[in-house]
């Protein structure tokens, strides 16, 4: 019998995962429909275990991802023009993605689910205490290194991680820097293994969360508001994909249909693999072979964008955070929502392609604000679909940024050396 190739093994693994996820959804729906009290209690217990595991693993993964990402950007970034253009368009598209999410959230206004479904019923006064902006700002400024991690204050952790990452970026090359980076990457690899184990067990979690969702829908009639929430998330991604990014391409003098046609192989791989990093080789090949992008641009911009350009993630973080805060009874004033555009943008940049990173990051952000996160479990069963669309959008945004940077710098880069041309 012939041995299976790596691609065949990956396809087999994805198929097996899809079957297990589907089985979890079907069985969970059946258990939720039956509504037996013993079943419900068991599912609540399993769901609570998975929620705690998500919170446990999210914070260190996010911190490590941001530190190593910023440190990585410091390497070989002497192509200042390319780097500057890539970062500018990355931030522009990410802010626009979050803004589209906010606009759609305000227009469609998803209603709250019942407190029993969101977890708001467990709050002492039915709502999360609202802090003043000054109090909230002070609370995210860490006064010692350990406190943010001990309290789970994600915004503080992001600040600490960003400072460490930037310090590593400017740190002189040498043994000390290499030792620190190798240590951090080693710890990061350990957490990736833990995430892999968690994902392997995820069908059990999906079963429990689906049972909770179905039971909540049957007893509390929460379906309508959740459908509206999903419409906001998916709709904002589709508007960014089919309207905003093509308009930016047109403004910069590029034909969006031509760019999309050239990048179609990468977009399809992204849609079904749900991994921007895994799609990167196809994205590079499509940009260079189909669009004629300068290799110096594609091989710098695309790895950077794969790491920090998360349009879909920004929209998910913003919409989901606002929805959970709304369900918790928090004040969603205009200044608050504008601040969250910035938070979602920075969080998406810091996500750094972590598996289920958007989900983990949003959950930990809400937990750090003492917002009930039970609703995240309700979102989880359909997150796989959201993740597919988000990843496709992320790769499409990466491709658009790469094409724009290449077009902007055409004729401005030094001539290619003969040895570089031969590569």
Dump pLDDT digits (tens) for 238-247.
Answer: 999 999 999 9
Confidence at residue 43, expressed as pLDDT on a 0 to 100 scale: 80
Confidence at residue 220, expressed as pLDDT on a 0 to 100 scale: 54
pLDDT above 80 (res 179): yes
CA neighbor of 100 nearest in space, from 401, 404, 397, 405 = 397
Q: How many domains does the chain have?
A: 1
Structure confidence by residue, pLDDT tens digits, 361-379: 788 778 777 788 778 877 8
CATH code (residue 266): 1.10.3860
Number of helical H runs and strand E runs in the chain: 21, 0
Task: Evaluate the CA torsion angle 153, 154, 159, 165 in order and state its sign.
Answer: positive
Structure confidence by residue, pLDDT tens digits, 280-311: 778 888 898 899 998 888 877 887 787 778 89
CA neighbor of 273 nearest in space, from 5, 93, 14, 4 = 14
* Residue 159 domain-assigned (yes or no): yes
* Residue 181 domain-assigned (yes or no): yes
Which residues make Cβ contacts (< 8 Å) with residue 326, sequence separation at least 6? 112, 332
Report yes or no: 293 and 287 within 8 Å, Cβ to Cβ.
Answer: yes
* Residue 171 domain-assigned (yes or no): yes
* Residue 385 domain-assigned (yes or no): yes
Name the residue with higher pLDDT: 258 or 331.
Answer: 258
Q: Which letter, b or e, does each residue of 140-172 get, where b requires 16 or more Cβ atoms within 10 Å of its Cβ? A: bebeeeeebeeebbbbbbbbbbbebbeebbeee
170 is in which domain, residue-wise? 16-410
Structure confidence by residue, pLDDT tens digits, 65-94: 777 766 765 554 445 677 788 889 999 999
* Residue 41 domain-assigned (yes or no): yes
Confidence at residue 352, expressed as pLDDT on a 0 to 100 scale: 54
pLDDT above 70 (res 151): no
Half-sphere exposure of 181 (CA within 13 A, CB side): 21
* Residue 81 domain-assigned (yes or no): yes
**pTM of the entire structure?**
0.70
Q: How far is CA 385 from the centre of its chain?
A: 13
Stretch among 104-108, 207-211, 334-338 having the lowest mean pLDDT: 207-211
Report yes or no: 218 and 114 within 8 Å, Cβ to Cβ.
Answer: no
The string of DSSP letters for 236-294 reads HHHHIIIIIHHHHHHHTT--HHHHHHHTHHHHHHHHHH--HHHHHHHHHHHHHHHS---
* Residue 421 domain-assigned (yes or no): no
* Residue 417 domain-assigned (yes or no): no
Report yes or no: 394 and 310 within 8 Å, Cβ to Cβ.
Answer: yes
Report yes or no: 404 and 248 within 8 Å, Cβ to Cβ.
Answer: yes
């Amino acid at each position: 019998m012939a041995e299976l190739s790596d691609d065949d093994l990956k396809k087999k693994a994805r198929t097996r995962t899809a079957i297990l996820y589907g089985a979890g959804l079907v069985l969970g729906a059946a258990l939720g429909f039956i509504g037996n009290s013993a079943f419900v209690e068991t599912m609540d217990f399993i769901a609570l275990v998975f929620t705690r595991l998500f919170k446990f693993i999210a914070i260190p993964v996010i911190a490590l991802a941001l530190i190593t990402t910023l440190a990585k950007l410091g390497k070989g970034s002497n192509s200042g023009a390319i780097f500057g253009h890539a970062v500018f368009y990355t931030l522009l598209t990410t802010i626009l993605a979050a803004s589209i999410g906010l606009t759609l959230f305000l227009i469609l206004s998803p209603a709250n689910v019942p407190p029993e479904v969101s977890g708001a019923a467990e709050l002492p006064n039915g709502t999360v205490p609202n802090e003043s902006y000054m109090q909230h700002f002070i609370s995210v400024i860490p006064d010692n290194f350990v406190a943010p991690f001990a309290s789970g204050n994600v915004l503080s952790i992001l600040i600490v991680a960003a400072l460490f990452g930037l310090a590593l970026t400017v740190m002189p090359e040498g043994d000390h820097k290499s030792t620190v980076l190798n240590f951090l990457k080693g710890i990061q690899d350990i957490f990736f293994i833990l995430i892999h184990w968690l994902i392997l067990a995820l069908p059990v979690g999906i079963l429990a969360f689906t049972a909770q969702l179905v039971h909540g829908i049957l007893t509390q009639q929460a379906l309508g508001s959740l459908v509206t929430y999903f419409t906001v998330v998916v709709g904002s991604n589709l508007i960014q994909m089919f309207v905003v990014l093509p308009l930016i391409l047109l403004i910069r003098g590029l034909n969006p249909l031509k760019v999309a046609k050239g990048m179609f192989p990468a977009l399809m791989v992204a849609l079904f693999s749900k991994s921007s990093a895994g799609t990167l080789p196809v994205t590079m090949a499509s940009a260079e072979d189909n669009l004629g992008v300068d290799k110096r641009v594609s091989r710098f911009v695309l790895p950077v964008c794969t790491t920090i350009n998360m349009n879909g993630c920004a929209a998910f973080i913003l919409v989901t955070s606002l929805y959970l805060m709304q369900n918790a009874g928090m004040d969603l004033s205009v200044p608050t929502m504008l601040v969250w555009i910035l938070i979602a943008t920075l969080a998406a940049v810091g996500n750094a392609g972590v598996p289920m990173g958007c989900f983990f990051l949003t959950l930990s952000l809400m937990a750090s604000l003492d917002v009930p996160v039970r609703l995240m479990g309700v979102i989880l069963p359909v997150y796989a679909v959201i993740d597919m669309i988000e990843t496709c959008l992320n790769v499409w945004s990466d491709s658009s940024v790469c094409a724009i940077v290449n077009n902007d710098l055409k004729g401005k880069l030094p001539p290619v050396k003969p040895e570089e041309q031969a590569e």
